[in-house]
């Protein structure tokens, strides 16, 4: 993804729009569900009113929904939403009305904003520091402390429609009947859940809308870029966990998400999927919401190769799952983006070529136009692609394994290119089996969940 020299524009916009106000939110619970509308203001010149809607379900507990303690989670969701609107002009001051943050909370939010916008700053050529890129000023008064709540020992699984959440759903369904959660449902996410015989009224749905004024400002030349969506999912899943009385939230983020997108820099497209964010989020929930909720990534101990091997067993999902952002609106694999090429490569050690071609509609490794993307995925370029992909090591390991399985005359175009690169020389002796047997110790899995995951690797 090319960089833009927007440093001058950044400083000019900060001068023209010196403050951003989080004015509050309105919430309404009816027989249709929970509707929340947030209210933001950019320097008294533009107002934004995004919404979050959670349709009613029989498993929601009325007393939990109407509990005033839920307000802290709703406020926090607004704090994530405002990132999308704040970044249009990056005002140096954020004013929080009708809510108080203590110094530790301010520090926590500034870290999330700064690291969650690392890609945004990098691609816009903006240089700043976490300490001074913004000030957060909130109302005076006493902050709310955490509260205790009785939660059932059952699980919510956010499902995005990709291979990772399929693996989590399949493995944890062996333990219980978990509640799937889908934000802004699309055919792939709904299809994966329905494959497990779920019905619409047994799925948590969250509908998030963006204020169209933001898109209008983007078209006018205001700043734009990637935001930490998974942080929004984290707080939203915590909200629905309390609404439904569920203790566990099992994400499907793997250890590979910890790798920086820019080598030697703290810029990670997947920051809000990283172990660092997971650890920070758990701390925030424990200290400011409730210590009774358990948020963790079920697949954190695994790498992408291990997940691909597990997914390869679930043939019923091959024509359903989708991870391509470009084709998400049409429920297709575009076949031309980093996510498509990465997914093909990471599955190639475990699936037959006919299965891969059936999934993607063509042999991606025979597409010469994808050579630049291959170079980025294998570390033969300045940066990795800005997408949710695995590590450079994992990609190279999968390609090396494929090379060993094919005769030289059968190498597709991209493999012929790859064996001439520095990356191949570096990784051609990699121990593939050790990657498939690894188990990262940096995780927060409760014992019973860890036992299920370890057992799946031995199966």
pLDDT confidence band for 153 (50 / 70 / 90): very high
Q: Rounded mean pLDDT of 192-219?
A: 93
pLDDT tens string 312-360: 999 999 999 999 989 888 899 999 999 999 999 999 999 999 999 999 9
pLDDT at 1 over 70: no
pLDDT at 141 over 80: no
Average predicted confidence (pLDDT) for the chain: 94
Per-residue confidence (pLDDT) for residue 139, from 0 to 100: 82
Q: Rounded mean pLDDT of 60-73?
A: 84
* DSSP letters spanning 262-299: BTTSS--TTGGGSHHHHHHHHHHHHHHT-TT-EEEETT
Per-residue confidence (pLDDT) for residue 68, from 0 to 100: 73
Residue 281's Cα: distance from chain center in Å?
13
Per-residue confidence (pLDDT) for residue 22, from 0 to 100: 98
% of the chain residues with pLDDT over 90 = 86
% of the chain residues with pLDDT over 70 = 99
pLDDT at 142 over 80: no
pLDDT at 65 over 90: no
Q: Would you mind telling me the total number of residues written for the chain in this entry? A: 459
**Among 148-162, 264-278, 369-383, 409-423, whose mean pLDDT is lowest?**
264-278
Q: Rounded mean pLDDT of 277-305?
A: 97
For residue 383, what is the DSSP state? B
Q: Rounded mean pLDDT of 291-318?
A: 97
81 contacts 214 by C-beta, under 8 angstroms: no
Higher pLDDT, 2 or 116: 116
60 contacts 244 by C-beta, under 8 angstroms: yes
Per-residue confidence (pLDDT) for residue 198, from 0 to 100: 84
Residue 140's Cα: distance from chain center in Å?
33
Residue 191 to residue 169: CA distance in whole angstroms: 13
pLDDT at 63 over 70: yes
Cα R_g (the chain), whole angstroms: 22
Q: What is the pTM of this model?
A: 0.96
pLDDT at 2 over 90: no
Residues 6+ apart with CB under 8 A from 248: 153, 154, 155, 156, 241, 294, 296, 446, 449
Q: Taking phi first (over 0 means left), then psi (-120 to 50 degrees means alpha), and beta for anything else, what does residue 286 get?
A: alpha
């Amino acid at each position: 993804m090319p960089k833009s020299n927007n440093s001058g524009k950044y400083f000019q916009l900060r001068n023209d729009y010196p403050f951003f106000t989080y004015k509050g939110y309105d919430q309404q619970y009816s027989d249709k569900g929970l509707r929340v509308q947030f209210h933001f203001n950019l320097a008294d010149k533009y107002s934004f009113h995004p919404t979050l809607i959670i349709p009613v379900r029989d498993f929601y507990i009325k007393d939990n929904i109407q509990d005033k303690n839920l307000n802290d989670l709703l406020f926090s969701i607004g704090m994530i939403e405002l990132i999308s609107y704040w970044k249009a002009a990056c005002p140096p001051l954020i004013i929080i009305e009708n809510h108080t943050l203590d110094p530790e909370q301010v520090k926590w939010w500034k870290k999330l904003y700064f690291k969650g916008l690392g890609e945004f700053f990098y691609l816009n050529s903006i240089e700043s520091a976490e300490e001074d890129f913004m000030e957060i000023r909130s109302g005076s008064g006493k902050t709310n402390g955490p509260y205790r709540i009785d939660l059932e020992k059952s699980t919510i699984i956010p499902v995005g429609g990709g291979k990772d959440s399929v693996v989590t759903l399949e493995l944890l369904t062996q333990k219980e009947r978990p509640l799937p959660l889908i934000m802004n449902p699309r055919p792939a996410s709904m299809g994966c859940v329905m494959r497990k015989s779920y019905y619409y009224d047994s799925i948590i749905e969250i509908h998030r809308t963006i204020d169209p004024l933001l898109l209008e400002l983007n078209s006018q030349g205001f700043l734009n870029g990637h935001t930490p969506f998974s942080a929004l999912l984290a707080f939203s899943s915590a909200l629905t966990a309390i609404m439904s009385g569920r203790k566990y939230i099992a994400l499907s983020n793997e250890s590979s998400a910890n790798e920086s997108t820019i080598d030697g820099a703290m810029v990670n497209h997947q920051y809000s999927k990283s172990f660092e964010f997971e650890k920070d989020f758990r701390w925030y929930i424990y200290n400011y919401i409730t210590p009774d909720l358990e948020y963790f990534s079920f697949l954190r101990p695994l790498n992408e190769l291990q997940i691909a091997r597990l997914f390869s067993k679930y043939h019923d999902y091959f024509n359903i799952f989708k991870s391509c952002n470009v084709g998400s609106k049409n429920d297709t694999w575009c076949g031309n983006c980093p996510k498509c090429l990465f997914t093909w490569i990471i599955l190639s050690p475990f699936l037959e070529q006919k299965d891969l071609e059936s999934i993607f509609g063509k042999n991606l490794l025979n597409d010469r136009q994808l050579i630049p993307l291959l170079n980025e995925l294998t570390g033969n370029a300045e940066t990795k692609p800005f997408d949710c992909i695995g590590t450079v090591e994992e990609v190279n390991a999968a390609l090396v394994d494929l090379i060993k399985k094919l005769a030289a005359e059968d190498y597709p175009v991209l493999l012929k290119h790859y064996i001439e690169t520095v990356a191949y020389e570096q990784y051609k002796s990699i121990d593939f089996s050790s990657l498939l047997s690894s188990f990262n110790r940096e995780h927060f899995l409760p014992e019973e969940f860890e036992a299920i995951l370890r057992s799946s690797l031995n199966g």
